[in-house]
Structure 1
Amino acid sequence: MKKLLLAIIAINLLLGANLVSAAGYTQTKYPIVLVHGFSGFDSVGGLIGYFHTIPYNLRRSGAKVYVPSVSAFNSSEARGEQLADYLSGLRESKFNLIGHSQGSPTSRVAASLVPNKVASVTSVNGVNRGSKVADVLLGLVPEGVAQNLVGSILDAVGGVINLISGANNAQDSIASAKTLSTAGSMALNQTLGNKGIDPNCASMNEDVNINGYNIKMFSWSGNRAFTNVFDLTDPFLSATSLAFAGEQNDGLVGVCSARLGQVISTSYSLNHVDAINHLFGVRGWTNPVSLYRYQANRLRNKGL
């Protein structure tokens, strides 16, 4: 009887330890900031989040998470300034930035402006070397009246996004397209000192020095455009993937462009929309929510 009681106590202690561990799995030292991409938002009416269920799944095991709203359509420089202002307005010493799509260069710009406020930058299917889709679109719509007309329409869409998400961000879709092109992205990289950018698209050391501050950089991405027959965005991404002429891509961003700092993986079964767990969790084999949780735990284990 005594041995049985001791065994029960030991099992309860073990289970308790595991529960404590699970409860703190994503509990980073510094808050996580999820930075949305092109045409994005924080949430619509507080109900539909850009990062579908991801903030909740980070918070439920200890993470403190912020989801700011920056311009849906604008240059990475302008969005980065907005993000830097947002970070400076919060009473936190540092942040772990996780940016999807244009959220990656946006985060890198913010890190260059307020390096003292940034502990790490993680790129998720990020546009770090431009998108061939942006190159094609700029080629199809020449500068002048046609480009201004398309720009005005997209700016109006950005205004609607402001309205339904409760934001008030400036919109400039032409600047957005140019900054996401190969030429625009390479110019931005040069301005930022090519920090975390390897010329041969190889994985680099995670440690990057920006104005005397050590900032860790990571990245991951998917390499498929079509992942689920029930996902309404997959046919669109399959069409846009043709712009890459055989290069591995997620429908909007090439694998090479997605690489930043220490590359965790670029072979996940994810397209550009899957990476944020949309549409509403309809995806391929890879669970994107788990990737964010793994990354939070990785940051936690590194003391970040």
Structure 2
Amino acid sequence: MKIKMYIHYAITLSSFILCTISNASGLIHVKSSQVNSDYAKTKYPIVMAHGFALGFSRIGTEKFGLDQFYQITPDLVRNGANVFVAQMSPVESTIVRGEQLLQQVDQVLALSGAQKVNLIGHSHGGPTVRYIEAVAPQKVASLTAVAGSMKGTPLSAGLTNSNFLSKAGKIVIGNLLAPAITILEGNPKLSINYEAAMYDLSEQGALAFNQKFPSAALPKDCNSNGVPRTENGIYHYSWIGSSKVTNVLDVLDTAIVATGVVLMPNEKNHDGLVPICSAKYGKVIRDNYNLNHFDEVNQVLGLKSVFAPDPISIFRQHANRLKLQGL
């Protein structure tokens, strides 16, 4: 009787552990009650990767929550795409985030039965998806960087060179904001490393990362473009906006972007947080959308300039681009 009880306990405990591990990554498989077309139906699943600090997969629940790629992912699904949203540490090094993403890419491949994925990364998600190509290129069909900090941003130096801002940034972002996001995402065990994140987002840190993981998709300078399709057969795309304050009603967006403008006085061409030069990668779809860094993922809550293009439509068109490319 005791043996049966121990066996039952062991099976229950094993099941709990396996369940905990499978949910530890926080991977979201986006669903929709209806599919209206196959316009965005790519051959391979699409995996979205969020950025730094205010980057998250979903805060709250599916019914009562906020998605990072606001209204974008359900629209892709309604148009035939198979979409997953990865969950990485909001404040961590590129490699740690990359390893977290790699685990979820493997989950997507197992769940979908696909051999590859199309990775789309916003902001720090740009170099994060590049890490997957570096360590597991056989699992990648395409990489897309949306305002990706591919060569870093001077905003990082602006926050770390000042003793006051460095301490304040660590308290506000590293000790308060990042832990709060992990809790709201339901994954408080995600690691947080403010210093490592700020270094990797700096121009110096990005240079070190790119030297360790070189790619022909990275332009040599601001006046050139990267290779759209590298020798490993992977396609590379990018786009970025060039606007700053776009809607004064979007208080959070305006405050953060305005801070970025102040801390990057020598950088004129940027989306409020990331320089256009840094974001250029592979085939540049466009580098002057009337969007700022948060508008690019339709945040906050879709508020943007009345004259701005629809970010939802931009992502939908890109999925169709990948589809037509056979990806």
Deviations for 1:105-133, whole angstroms, at most 9, x for unmatched residues?
Answer: 00001221111111000000110111111
CA contact (8 A) 2:216 2:227 kept: no
Normalised by the size of structure 1, how large is the TM-score? 0.87
Q: Within the alignment, does 1:276 sit opposite 2:294 as a pair?
A: no
Q: Within the alignment, does 1:196 sit opposite 2:196 as a pair?
A: no
Who is 2:75 aligned against? 57
CA contact (8 A) 1:178 1:184 kept: yes
CA contact (8 A) 1:81 1:113 kept: no
SS state of the match for residue 122, structure 1? strand
The AA in structure 2 aligned to 1:118 is V
Who is 1:136 aligned against? 158
CA contact (8 A) 1:189 1:195 kept: no
Q: Within the alignment, does 1:103 sit opposite 2:125 as a pair?
A: yes
What is the aligned counterpart of 1:42 among 50, 57, 82?
57
Q: How far off its partner does 1:286 sit?
A: 1.6
Q: Within the alignment, does 1:169 sit opposite 2:172 as a pair?
A: no
What is the aligned counterpart of 2:137 among 115, 132, 136?
115
Q: Extract unaligned runs of 5+ from structure 2.
A: 1-34
Who is 1:248 aligned against? 269
SS state of the match for residue 238, structure 2? strand
CA contact (8 A) 1:151 1:172 kept: no
The AA in structure 2 aligned to 1:45 is G
Normalised by the size of structure 2, how large is the TM-score? 0.81
SS state of the match for residue 105, structure 2? helix
Who is 1:220 aligned against? 239
Hey, what's the Cα distance between the residues in 2 that align with 1:107 and 1:244? 29
Q: Within the alignment, does 1:79 sit opposite 2:93 as a pair?
A: no
Identical columns (%): 33
The AA in structure 1 aligned to 2:74 is Y
Deviates more, 1:285-294 or 1:224-233: 224-233
Hey, what's the Cα distance between the residues in 1 that align with 2:171 and 2:273? 22
CA contact (8 A) 1:122 1:218 kept: yes
Who is 1:11 aligned against? none
**Alignment size in residue pairs:** 278
Q: Does the C-alpha gap of structure 1 residues 244 and 57 become closer, same or farther in structure 2, counting only changes over 3 Å?
A: farther
CA contact (8 A) 1:32 1:95 kept: yes
**Coordinate RMSD, CA, aligned:** 1.8
Q: Does the C-alpha gap of structure 1 residues 291 and 149 become closer, same or farther in structure 2, counting only changes over 3 Å?
A: closer
Q: Does the C-alpha gap of structure 1 residues 58 and 185 become closer, same or farther in structure 2, counting only changes over 3 Å?
A: same
Deviations for 1:51-92, whole angstroms, at most 9, x for unmatched residues?
Answer: 101110100010000001000000111101111111123313
Q: Extract unaligned runs of 5+ from structure 1.
A: 1-20
Deviations for 1:231-289, whole angstroms, at most 9, x for unmatched residues?
Answer: 21224313312314252110000110010011111010010010110110001212111
